Structure 1
Amino acid sequence: MKTIQAYRFALDLTPAQERAVLAHAGAARVAHNWALARVKAVVAQRAAERSYGVPDDQLTPALSWSLSALRKAWNAAKSEVALWWRECSKEAFNTGLDVLARGLKNWADARTGERIGRAVGFPRFKSRRGTTPSVRFTTGAIRVEPDRRHVVLPRLGRLKLHESARKLARRVEAGTARILSATVRRDGGRWHVSFCVEVERAQRISSRPGSVVGVDVGIKHLAVLSTGELVPNPRHLSEAQRRLRVLGRRLSRRCGPDRRTGQRPSKRWQRARAQLVRAHGRVANLRRDGLHKLTTRLTREHPTVVVEDLNVAGMLRNRRLARHIADAGFAELRRQLGYKTQWSGGRLLVADRWYPSSKTCSDCGAVKAKLALSERIYTCTTCSLVLDRDVNAARNLAALAAKTTAGSGPVAGRGADHRTPLAGLVAVKRQPGTASAGQTGTVPPQGGTTRHAPTAAHPKVTEA
């Protein structure tokens, strides 16, 4: 199975190499801003001519927004716009123009309704201070050196890696991987190189064939599995909050830059800023590492994974929980499950957003009308089941896999290969004593439940 995979490695650049990379990133920014200014000038000119009553056939010719058209216009004007263009690789200018072409297309598609999701704004000019330095190479000499400690990129030459690239080198040497592009980017105070690779992956067999797991994400526990396992939430941002506050106060006391007066930042301010950036980068790396380990274990052990379709953007509007929700990384967890289930030959099922997984009893199927968020223990008034609220929701999610078949069409958005419909999956509340013989509820018993003694009003439910 061929798939596109990324390999990311940290770099140890010399001062001269860092200046060269920054020059290429600046060239990308210059090309982006020049093309955007030209597009906006043409759009404004045509709008003004229309306001004057000029016929459409006599308007200023429109400028194509495709990458090839923008690249052609840049090549014709680069000798006048950037006299230094020979000092940088052509891939640097192509990087900025490609970003602009994608942004214009996304904006146009959002206006016409061809793009789903939230509205996309018109592209903006990139500033020197507010833009993350990045440059992408798609042609030329892009390879990993035989010592697996260096990489070669066009115009930048031989760059030293902070870690070994043996995983990528072995695949390239075996002929099961082909490097498509390389992107150099400064992230978290460090320079990284990311290789976009076409990989031939062998079909992986799950360690538990036929296993289904429901995953209920939360803040108290990062993930609660239908097997009863509780994955703790490490809360990396909360743990580092005290040090971040100290570093933030230290930075505020230093003499920083001021564009109004032309004041340049002091060296102490630069060192304090670098410390704060590294602290934030460490939090992001810890979160990324934990999510990768969790999602890799789930997809390798269980062929079918069921998750909820959470409205994370709406949940972040809660000012009391926004920081904790963002620290947990719900969206990243689901994104990683999406492509890793495909790598392992499994499937990811996404329950409907309005499916009452927390309100439904995982034993008898009764649905509560109301369930406060403060009620952490689910108590069923029909079958007297007492169970942790999140474990009950995870079991209901796992039960949906038996009622859903994997779709054969294209992959749905955000990595899900099937979206469970709401109709026919919402449990219907049953009156006590009306369960048919042999009723097993929504999921088979998995242990860890506590029951009250059966009474006449709440007869015991037969389990398989």
Structure 2
Amino acid sequence: MLVNKAYKFRIYPTKKQETLIAKTIGCSRFVFNHFLGHWNDSYKETGKGLTYNSCSAELTKLKKELVWLNEVDSIALQSSLKNLADSYSRFFKKQNNAPRFKSKKNRVQSYTTKETNGNIAVVGTKMKLPKLGLVRFAKSREVHGRVLNATVRRTPSGKYFVSILAEVDVLPLEKAESSIGIDLGITDFAIFSDGSKIDNNKFTTKMEKKLKREQRKPSRRALHAKQNGINLLDAKNYQKQKRKVARLHERVLNQREDILNKLSTEIIKNHDLICIETLNTKGMLRNRILAKSISDVSWSAFVTKLEYKATWYGKTIMKVSNWFPSSQICSDCGHQDGKKPLEIREWTCPFCHEHHDRDLNASKNILAEGLRTLALA
């Protein structure tokens, strides 16, 4: 099965390459914003937007007027236009909100370029990229398949990464002859129908005290710079502390991403059918008491990883309705008890007198409902 797979590596550009990356990011942002303005004006005047082809022709003329646009990768500028056209296409299909102007203050700055005539390739310990040439990178694994494009990113902490998108032929995994139900929670991240549990690592909560302390410093340093008439871009202490805070956020993000990737891969390898409850995460986040904890566990990201890996490796994901009363039904006799407050973690069935762990019982019911739904499909 041919799938698009991304390979992410950290790169270590020279000062000259860093300057060129910054110029390419800036030019891509300028092109996006320039044509977004024209697109909005055209829509207001005529009720119709522009097209990618008309913008592409206009870009050729614009590059003759603004010669500095020729200093950077031309395909990156075209990709910026393509992204704008795709954003509007999804907007009119009501798949997302209208595209907005990009800011140089966004947390992550990036540009995308396409592979043509071998301009993106791995050469020993270096990565060959358009205009940049050979860039030193941390080669953690081999890149397989046909390279499609590359996205160069600069993070708030000042690190640089490249994501190589390749078309890879993925083979289905061997059948494990096993099914599992998963109940996602906050105290325990995942509770499986076989009785095992995965702890919630609470990465953000563990780092919260340090983050609060370090996030106060940029505010004080910004005030000090303002009182002395120093621009924040030139305030070295402010910029230094800003990067330090960004590194703390990145550490939390990387820890969470690592756990989710390893756990989702292990589940896909060991089970053919994975039954999981459909979660209304947006609705849950309206609960101010639980919002921070729900954001920290990243249920949506975990389910997304399970879904695409199941597609790649020939496994099945069955989603059970979020209205299914998984916590109210006795997994032994099927008796449905009343709705219980969240603080009740254990209960005894009044019909068969079986004592249940609330989450374990829910995961067993999710598995049973998933198998029933699959049989009816």
Q: TM-score, normalised on structure 2?
A: 0.93
Which structure 1 residue ranges, 5 or more long, are not aligned? 48-61, 172-176, 407-419, 422-464
Shift of 1:63: 4.6
The one-letter amino acid paired with 1:179 is: V
Residue in 2 that maps onto 1:39: 39
Q: What do the CA deviations read for 1:129-154 (whole angstroms, capped 9, x no partner)?
A: 23631111113301011x2x211011
Shift of 1:234: 0.4
Shift of 1:24: 0.5
Residue in 1 that maps onto 2:30: 30
Shift of 1:221: 0.3
* 2:237 paired with 1:252: no
Residue in 1 that maps onto 2:304: 335
2:194 to 220, 223, 227: 227
Tell me the secondary structure at the aligned position of residue 240 of structure 1.
Answer: helix
Residue in 2 that maps onto 1:64: 50
Shift of 1:403: 1.5
Q: What do the CA deviations read for 1:331-354 (whole angstroms, capped 9, x no partner)?
A: 001000001122332111100121
2:103 to 124, 127, 133: 127
**Are 1:378 and 1:392, in contact at CA under 8 Å, matched by a contact in 2?**
no
Q: Distance in 1 between matches of 2:254 and 2:271?
A: 26
Residue in 2 that maps onto 1:103: 87
Residue in 1 that maps onto 2:20: 20
1:284 to 238, 249, 253: 253
Residue in 1 that maps onto 2:204: 237
Q: What do the CA deviations read for 1:195-254 (whole angstroms, capped 9, x no partner)?
A: 111111223114xx2211111111100000001001000000001111111110111111
Shift of 1:262: 7.8
Which aligned pairs between 1:283-322 and structure 2 lie closer than 5 A? 283-322=252-291
Which aligned pairs between 1:439-458 and structure 2 lie closer than 5 A? none
* 2:119 paired with 1:144: no
* 2:346 paired with 1:385: no
**Are 1:247 and 1:276, in contact at CA under 8 Å, matched by a contact in 2?**
yes
Residue in 2 that maps onto 1:74: 59
Q: Distance in 2 between matches of 1:191 and 1:28?
A: 17
Greater mean deviation of Cα atoms: 329-338 or 360-369: 360-369
The one-letter amino acid paired with 1:212 is: S
Q: Distance in 2 between matches of 1:131 and 1:204?
A: 38
Shift of 1:45: 2.7
Change (3 A) 1:99 1:7: same
Q: Distance in 1 between matches of 2:107 and 2:250?
A: 16
**Are 1:188 and 1:280, in contact at CA under 8 Å, matched by a contact in 2?**
no
Tell me the secondary structure at the aligned position of residue 338 of structure 1.
Answer: helix
Residue in 2 that maps onto 1:191: 160
Q: Distance in 1 between matches of 2:104 and 2:274?
A: 44
Q: Distance in 2 between matches of 1:203 and 1:121?
A: 36
The one-letter amino acid paired with 1:126 is: K
Q: Distance in 1 between matches of 2:311 and 2:90?
A: 27
Q: What do the CA deviations read for 1:300-323 (whole angstroms, capped 9, x no partner)?
A: 011111111000011111111111
Residue in 1 that maps onto 2:316: 347
**Are 1:107 and 1:122, in contact at CA under 8 Å, matched by a contact in 2?**
yes
Q: Distance in 1 between matches of 2:333 and 2:57?
A: 67
Shift of 1:73: 2.2
Residue in 2 that maps onto 1:274: 243
Shift of 1:76: 2.7
- Across the aligned residues of Structure 1 and Structure 2, the Cα RMSD in angstroms comes to 1.9
Greater mean deviation of Cα atoms: 287-296 or 264-273: 264-273
Q: Distance in 1 between matches of 2:19 and 2:335?
A: 65
Tell me the secondary structure at the aligned position of residue 222 of structure 1.
Answer: strand
Residue in 2 that maps onto 1:59: none
Shift of 1:185: 1.0
Residue in 2 that maps onto 1:362: 331
Shift of 1:79: 1.8
Q: Distance in 2 between matches of 1:184 and 1:32?
A: 17
Identity of aligned residues (%): 31
1:180 to 145, 148, 170: 148
Q: What do the CA deviations read for 1:237-283 (whole angstroms, capped 9, x no partner)?
A: 0011111111101111113677xx88334100010000000000000
Larger Rg: 1
Q: Distance in 1 between matches of 2:266 and 2:107?
A: 36
Q: Distance in 2 between matches of 1:307 and 1:134?
A: 35
Q: Distance in 1 between matches of 2:277 and 2:331?
A: 16
Shift of 1:188: 5.3
Tell me the secondary structure at the aligned position of residue 67 of structure 2.
Answer: coil
Q: Distance in 1 between matches of 2:222 and 2:178?
A: 59
Higher RCO (CA 8 Å, separation ≥ 6 residues): 2
Greater mean deviation of Cα atoms: 182-191 or 17-26: 182-191
Residue in 2 that maps onto 1:167: 142
The one-letter amino acid paired with 1:100 is: L
2:130 to 154, 165, 170: 154
Tell me the secondary structure at the aligned position of residue 383 of structure 1.
Answer: coil
Greater mean deviation of Cα atoms: 314-323 or 128-137: 128-137
**Are 2:115 and 2:147, in contact at CA under 8 Å, matched by a contact in 1?**
no
Q: What do the CA deviations read for 1:380-423 (whole angstroms, capped 9, x no partner)?
A: 111111111000000011112431338xxxxxxxxxxxxx99xx
User: Which one has the bigger helix percentage?
Assistant: 2
Q: Distance in 2 between matches of 1:244 and 1:212?
A: 41
Tell me the secondary structure at the aligned position of residue 374 of structure 2.
Answer: coil
**Are 2:32 and 2:80, in contact at CA under 8 Å, matched by a contact in 1?**
yes
